[in-house]
Amino acid sequence: MNIVKSLFQSSIGRKYIMAVTGGLLFGFLVVHLAGNVQIFLGADRINSYAALLKSNLLVLWGFRLGLAAIALIHITTATGLTLENWAARPNRYAANTDPYASFSARTMVVSGVILFAFITYHLLHFTLGVTQPGIMHHVDHLGRHDVYRMMLEGFRNPWIAGTYLAAMIVLFFHLRHGLSSLFQSLGLKNQKFAKGIEYLAVITALLICVGNGAIALTILLRILK
């Protein structure tokens, strides 16, 4: 108990928590993308994948609650670290203007807040069906939730597709810095591997964002029908 308490209280401990929770959230993004891109294999494939995910309610809700807890720890720890950084600076509450920090590093708080807003919208859109209720009720010829049609009707709207595409650009910058500082916080980034880790972070972030963006874009452009 004391170890957990001191982990949350020390700066290094909090960075460690950011790295571990960030890594887990990144893991979710990889799995989520691997599921989403099955839309390119046709309606049957993505609908059966979605049905499989929902087939065991205990596993589904265990996963959802676990993910929500990890996201909550990530966000509250980030808020604590940010407030600490601002308080330590002579020019209190000013933005991070370190000229040597990359654009991604300087905008982590802003990109994080935008992503939080995007995820809230995304859950209201595809999970809860609040923003576009009509798309939630389609069923396919096997009586399963027609996720394929749900995505088609969602992303055919240019405003919705545009929102997702804009969010993917923000996600790219957040992931790019997040992934490379993850290695740093876990003590895995040394002089020898620093450049390699930077490249790996950029390529991985690009793959996630282009992969997700491709779904919205190909539907918007009627390539996927």
Residues binding ligand HEM (CB under 6 A): 29, 32, 36, 50, 64, 115, 119, 122-123, 126-127, 147, 151, 164, 171, 212, 215-216
Given the complex with ligand HEM, which of 16 and 49 has the nearer CB atom?
A: 49
> Closest approach of Cβ 99 to ligand HEM, in Å?
29
Rounded Cα distance, 30 and 173, in Å: 16
* Burial of 49 per CB tally in 10 Å (0-12, 13-18, 19+): middle
Are 134 and 153 in contact by the 8 Å Cβ rule? The answer is yes
User: Tokens at residue 82, please?
Assistant: 């940010």
Rounded Cα distance, 154 and 138, in Å: 12
In eight-state DSSP terms, residue 145 is B
Given the complex with ligand HEM, which of 19 and 50 has the nearer CB atom?
A: 50
> Closest approach of Cβ 28 to ligand HEM, in Å?
7
> Closest approach of Cβ 172 to ligand HEM, in Å?
10
Q: Dihedral of CA 104/110/112/118: which sign?
A: negative
Given the complex with ligand HEM, which of 205 and 216 has the nearer CB atom?
A: 216
> Closest approach of Cβ 197 to ligand HEM, in Å?
22
Residues 6+ apart with CB under 8 A from 104: 111, 173, 174, 176, 177
> Closest approach of Cβ 97 to ligand HEM, in Å?
27
Minimal CB distance to ligand HEM: which residue?
212
Given the complex with ligand HEM, which of 101 and 117 has the nearer CB atom?
A: 117
Q: Please work out, in degrees rounded to the nearest 5, the angle formed at the alpha carbon of residue 176 by the alpha carbons of 201 and 194.
A: 45
Given the complex with ligand HEM, which of 162 and 196 has the nearer CB atom?
A: 162
In eight-state DSSP terms, residue 128 is S
> Closest approach of Cβ 181 to ligand HEM, in Å?
18
Given the complex with ligand HEM, which of 17 and 205 has the nearer CB atom?
A: 205
User: Tokens at residue 191, please?
Assistant: 């002089």
Are 197 and 183 in contact by the 8 Å Cβ rule? The answer is yes
